């Protein structure tokens, strides 16, 4: 079955430290992958997306993600975390063979930023 998995439910990181959030996908062909962020009481905001081409994707708020087909991964990174990055992060997936545009989400990773 097509799916995305986020192995880490919760991550705590110090302000200024680097952050990496893991996402693994299960799909036979090239998936379309997304990272969304949800701040408390807010809707989901798109950070970045990958469809094809360059495997390193730049997004908003200083985030980037790298698509690695050999590892079926699409990990999100930020070199230096700010307190405002505390939020829940969701990896999502859609495919051209599935209901067009229907997003399937991972379980999310809650990020806590400490001073």
45 touching other proteins, by CB under 8 A: yes
Q: Which of 43, 53, 70, 115 binds other proteins (CB under 8 A)?
A: 43
Judged by beta carbon, residue 82 or residue 102, the one nearer other proteins is: 102
The region of 13-21, 58-66, 72-80, 86-94 touching other proteins under the rule CB under 8 A is: 86-94
CB atoms within 10 A of CB 93: 22
Residue 103 sits in the site that holds other proteins (CB under 8 A): yes
Non-local (6+) Cβ contacts of 41 within 8 A are none
For position 77 contacting other proteins by CB under 8 A, the verdict is no
Tell whether residue 109 is a contact of other proteins (CB under 8 A): no
Contact yes or no for 43/65 (Cβ under 8 A)? no
């Amino acid at each position: 079955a097509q799916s995305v998995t986020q192995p880490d439910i919760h991550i705590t990181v110090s302000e200024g430290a680097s952050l990496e959030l893991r996402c693994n996908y299960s799909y036979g062909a090239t998936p379309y992958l997304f990272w969304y962020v949800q701040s408390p009481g807010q809707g989901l905001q798109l950070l970045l997306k990958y469809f094809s081409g360059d495997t390193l994707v730049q997004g908003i708020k200083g985030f980037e993600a790298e698509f690695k087909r050999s590892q079926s991964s699409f990990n999100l990174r930020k070199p230096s975390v700010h307190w405002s990055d505390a939020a829940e992060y969701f990896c999502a997936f859609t495919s051209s063979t599935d209901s067009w545009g229907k997003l399937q989400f991972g379980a999310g990773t809650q990020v806590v930023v400490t001073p």
